[in-house]
Amino acid sequence: MVCKIEKMRVEELESTNIITQTPFWGRIKREQGLIPSGFELTVSKKLLNDNAEPLSKTGDDLLVLIKYIDNNNCYAYVPYGPEIEPTFENQGLFLEQLSESIRPYLPTNCMFIRYDLAWTNQWANEQDRFDEFGNWKGDPEIQVQEMRVNFKTNNWNLRKSVSDFLPKNTFFLNLSLTEQALLRNMRYNTRYNIKKALTNGVRVQEYGIEHMHDWYKLYHETALRHNMPLQNQEFFSTVFKNQDNNAEGVTVKMLMADLEGEFLSSMFLVLSKKRGTYLYGASTTCKSNVMASYALQWESIKISKKWGCTEYDMFGSAPNLKQNHPLHGVHIYKKGFGGNLHHRMGCWDYPFNKKMYHLYRFHELR
């Protein structure tokens, strides 16, 4: 046995820092029309690391989402999973073994399985992938990526996806530090803007679903301003309603910053096990000089720390400081809070039906 799979109920998935691998996420996606499935993995450690003891094993739970693209074809999607992370040289072999092991449990018309990997990007540890200013250059060309990831595989079947679904780059803050140390790690301008917002009278409070309309008004303005795909209000109500409301599960807090009763900035803070995640954010350009978003972010960080979280995920940024990236402004804002930039591997596909997979891939490219 190198990789054993057992079906399990989605609600039986164990608590994890990764919110997209929780029953909470499965419930949200079910309401959006996807079919969530839970699996228990038992893996030989030798599959993950060549230096491991031959008979040693490890386990993990896995949330898989089935998405039908028409009446006859679907694909499987694993959001930020699996959580088990092999050594770089064993990543492809592990994904191959996992894909073949889980295949009998998927619909027979499943074209491929797509892993949105939160694993550390292999090329983020190579000095020649950084420029003279310390900016990460990003991944090499796709052929080079596929050649390395398929190293040691039997079928040479793993393909880099056309695009990545979940954020591939993010900042993580270490919440085991004191509040004073967290403030010291921030850029001077960030600390100044937090103080300015509080001095100006910005107030940050938690609100219930009855204020969803106020949240959505800010979100709608933000989405139009940044040319983002627009979700409807019911989507965010679904996120709010599907939280677990217990210490072992996922808790969602809708935080809003106001000045004299006028809402200026808002966010969804999601608390899962030992991680706080800045999942969604919104703001208005009105009174932007009072720096409400800085007070909001700082309060969210403090709430996560008090909750018992040891890390805080900013959930999305540009990969570097290059000004032509569409998330350059977001990157500057989040970098100012003093976190460490983490680069993920992103989406990788393992085709089951190569003909249908290539047709779908062509559709994605278009």
Hey, what's the torsion of the CAs at 137, 141, 144, 149, to 10 degrees?
A: 80
Q: How far is Cα 341 from Cα 337, in angstroms, rounded to an integer?
A: 11
Predicted local confidence at residue 158, as pLDDT: 98
Q: How far is Cα 21 from Cα 64, in angstroms, rounded to an integer?
A: 8
Residue 64 three-state SS:
strand
Residue 289 three-state SS:
helix
The average pLDDT across 158-162 equals 97
pLDDT band at 20 (very low <50, low <70, confident <90, very high): very high
For tokens 């796709």, the residue is 142
What is the pairing mode between strands 3-8 and 262-272?
A: unpaired
Q: Is residue 144 part of a domain?
A: yes
Predicted local confidence at residue 288, as pLDDT: 87
Predicted local confidence at residue 133, as pLDDT: 83
Q: Are residues 181 and 136 in the same domain?
A: no
pLDDT band at 141 (very low <50, low <70, confident <90, very high): very high
Q: How far is Cα 56 from Cα 65, in angstroms, rounded to an integer?
A: 29
C-beta of residue 166 within 8 angstroms of C-beta of residue 348: no
Q: Are residues 13 and 112 in the same domain?
A: yes
Q: Are residues 240 and 297 in the same domain?
A: yes
Predicted local confidence at residue 55, as pLDDT: 75
Q: Are residues 354 and 277 in the same domain?
A: no
Q: Tell me the residue type at 131.
A: D
Tens digits of residue pLDDT in 327-338: 899 999 999 999
pLDDT band at 1 (very low <50, low <70, confident <90, very high): low
Predicted local confidence at residue 49, as pLDDT: 93
Q: Are residues 53 and 82 in the same domain?
A: yes
| Residue after which a domain boundary falls, among 309, 327, 357 | 309
Q: Is residue 170 part of a domain?
A: no
Q: How far is Cα 231 from Cα 238, in angstroms, rounded to an integer?
A: 11
**CATH code at position 128:** 3.40.630.30
Q: Are residues 10 and 136 in the same domain?
A: yes
Tens digits of residue pLDDT in 172-205: 999 999 999 999 999 999 999 999 999 999 999 9
How far, in Å, are 115, 251, 363 from residue 357 at the CA level?
15, 37, 10
The tokens describing 288, both together, are 């932007």
Q: Are residues 103 and 41 in the same domain?
A: yes
Average pLDDT, the chain: 95
Q: Is residue 321 part of a domain?
A: no
φ, ψ dihedrals at 311, nearest 5°: -150, 155
Q: How far is Cα 196 from Cα 213, in angstroms, rounded to an integer?
A: 28
How many domains, in total, are found in the chain? 2
C-beta of residue 276 within 8 angstroms of C-beta of residue 175: yes
Domain that holds residue 200: 176-309
Q: How many degrees, rounded to 5, is the angle at CA 79 between CA 74 and CA 141?
A: 90
Tens digits of residue pLDDT in 200-232: 999 999 999 999 999 999 999 999 988 888 899
The average pLDDT across 284-304 equals 95
CB burial of 160-186 (b: ≥16 within 10 Å; e: otherwise) equals bbeebebbbbbbebebeeeeeebbebb
Predicted local confidence at residue 78, as pLDDT: 98
Predicted local confidence at residue 347, as pLDDT: 98
Q: Is residue 357 part of a domain?
A: yes
What is the pairing mode between strands 275-283 and 57-68?
A: unpaired
Q: Are residues 31 and 87 in the same domain?
A: yes
User: Which has the minimum average pLDDT: 183-192, 277-286, 315-324, 348-357?
Assistant: 315-324
What DSSP character marks residue 225?
H
What is the pairing mode between strands 250-259 and 203-207?
A: antiparallel
Tens digits of residue pLDDT in 52-78: 887 788 999 999 999 999 999 999 999
326 pLDDT higher than 90: no
30 pLDDT higher than 80: yes
The average pLDDT across 26-33 equals 95
Q: Is residue 248 part of a domain?
A: yes
C-beta of residue 339 within 8 angstroms of C-beta of residue 172: yes
The average pLDDT across 231-255 equals 92
Q: Are residues 113 and 213 in the same domain?
A: no
